[in-house]
Amino acid sequence: MSGLHTRLGRDLARARARVLALTDIDDAELTAQHSPLMSPLVWDLAHIANQEERWLLRAAGGQGGVRPDVDDLYDAFRHPRADRPALPLLGPAEARGYAAEVRARAADVLAQCAFDTDLTRDGFVFAMSVQHEVQHAETMLATHQLRAGSPVLDAPPPPRRAEPPAAEEVLIPGGEFEMGTSTDPWALDNERAAHRVYVPAFAIDTVPVTNGRYLEFLADGGYARRELWSPEGWVHREQAGLEAPQFWTRDDSGTWWRRRFGAVVPLDPDEPVVHVCFHEAEAFARWAGRRLPSEAEWEKAARWDPLTGASRRYPWGDEEPTEAHANLGQRHLEPAVVGAYPAGASRLGVHQLIGDVWEWTASGFEPYPGFTAFPYREYSEVFFGGDFRVLRGGSFGTDPAACRGTFRNWDLPIRRQIFAGFRCARDVPDV
């Protein structure tokens, strides 16, 4: 076995440990639908196993499946989330057994794999399966945030650092940079291929927008001033009755609190705001006299190295994230205060681009030039051209396996249950 086998085995084990922690609750909680936006947790568990069966056992291993009879039940395209509780799903014990059996067989496939096909080269399909599992682990964490009742998850708080960066924004000079990747072996299809993009000069905030700043927007009538919202954003704000980020509650004295995994806690003014939709982010930016960055601007701020002109994997360089770089991996169950990760800053001084909160960008989810779906159309291709907005950077709930400077996430502009915040940018004269 090579270092690559060992590394993939470790990543698979870490992903599974998270999923097991997220499903370590009563059967009733596992089968319940905590929100119409989400699947029952037991659906995610068996869906993860079914995806692993398809790609690791059948496609990579050339084996028959463990439960090919359940393919239809766990096909996300056949059954919308709201309908999943009514399906004849595997029960908690069956789903756990299914996941364990697929994993045991997948471990054998991995041990014997020579990584010599298009699907397995450099371990791609195993890394894809890890990324699929940890993406569901983040969705399952969002399900935990939506569920009512007392807390079941626990984690130590993130580091606190008193000093945010001195500058509020950083100037990124105009010019080309390399966006996307053709060399990262585990990058997913939508991150490919590398291509040069000219980005005019712009300024970007050194930190994400905080609860404190967001409170100022609220206090200044941000939710009542139509001119701050796009026409679609305003219609949605009215229909959905938006008045504050999701999970915020106000007490009789007018003080805002937030509910976090079942506990009501004070709102920390120095933490990035989270659980806002794209429309709220856009309205805030307009109120602040600013705008959201485009996806290309975000990636240039995160990857472009002014010393060499090359694009790096992370803001701090090519080194894998450690605990000192970023708040990732559900190690902490909340964003850290701004300035908490100086070691994760870019050379130009932009902090916390990776981890803490996903960041809404102004861009729709579209293919890069020359896109080819690989290995299946339903990961990315079917979502291009829809009403999705790109989010970048990952959150405290994102595993490092599914987070890098090129990684692209997307969701509808009205969604707030994801761990999403934002930072602002503005035009500057080209330099």
Residues in the chain: 431
Of 136 and 389, nearer to ligand AVJ (C-beta) is 136
In which element (H, E) is residue 98 found?
helix 92-112
Q: Is 363 in the site for ligand AVJ (CB under 6 A)?
A: no
**For ligand AVJ, which residue of 43, 55, 186, 410 counts as binding (CB under 6 A)?**
410
Is the C-alpha dihedral spanning 287, 387, 299, 135 positive or negative? positive
Across the beta sheet with 389-392, what order do the strands follow?
409-411, 389-392, 358-364, 420-421
Q: Is 361 in the site for ligand AVJ (CB under 6 A)?
A: no
Q: Is 132 in the site for ligand AVJ (CB under 6 A)?
A: yes
Determine the straight-line distance between the first and last CA of the chain, rounded to whole angstroms. Answer: 52
Report the distance separating Cα 73 and Cα 47, nearest Å: 8
**For ligand AVJ, which residue of 31, 63, 135, 230 counts as binding (CB under 6 A)?**
135
Structure tokens at 427: 């035009």
SS3 category, 177: strand
Which residues contribute to the annotated binding site for Fe cation? 47, 132, 136
Provide, rounded to whole angstroms, the least separation between the CB of residue 290 and ligand AVJ. 26
Of 339 and 400, nearer to ligand AVJ (C-beta) is 400
Q: Is 398 in the site for ligand AVJ (CB under 6 A)?
A: no
Provide, rounded to whole angstroms, the least separation between the CB of residue 376 and ligand AVJ. 9
Q: Is 6 exposed, middle or buried (0-12, 13-18, 19+ CB in 10 A)?
A: exposed
Structure tokens at 15: 């992903």
Of 39 and 246, nearer to ligand AVJ (C-beta) is 39
377-396: which residues touch ligand AVJ (CB under 6 A)? 379
**For ligand AVJ, which residue of 39, 120, 139, 246 counts as binding (CB under 6 A)?**
139
Which residues contribute to the annotated binding site? 47, 81-84, 132, 136, 411, 415
Provide, rounded to whole angstroms, the least separation between the CB of residue 409 and ligand AVJ. 5
**For ligand AVJ, which residue of 209, 409, 413, 422 counts as binding (CB under 6 A)?**
409
Report the distance separating Cα 215 and Cα 181, nearest Å: 38
Which residues contribute to the annotated binding site for gamma-L-glutamyl-L-cysteine? 81-84, 411, 415
Counting residues that bind ligand AVJ (by CB under 6 A) gives 7
> At CA 347, angle to CA 344 and CA 351, rounded to 5?
40
Of 314 and 388, nearer to ligand AVJ (C-beta) is 388
Contacts of residue 308, defined as CB under 8 A and 6 or more positions apart, other chains included, come to none
Provide, rounded to whole angstroms, the least separation between the CB of residue 276 and ligand AVJ. 17
Is the C-alpha dihedral spanning 295, 298, 302, 304 positive or negative? positive
Provide, rounded to whole angstroms, the least separation between the CB of residue 384 and ligand AVJ. 12
SS3 category, 108: helix
- The window from 57-65, 132-140, 158-166, 303-311 that contacts ligand AVJ (CB under 6 A) reads 132-140
Report the distance separating Cα 118 and Cα 280, nearest Å: 42
Provide, rounded to whole angstroms, the least separation between the CB of residue 410 and ligand AVJ. 5
Chain position carrying tokens 């705008």: 291
Q: Could you list the residues that contact ligand AVJ (CB under 6 A)?
A: 132, 135-136, 139, 379, 409-410
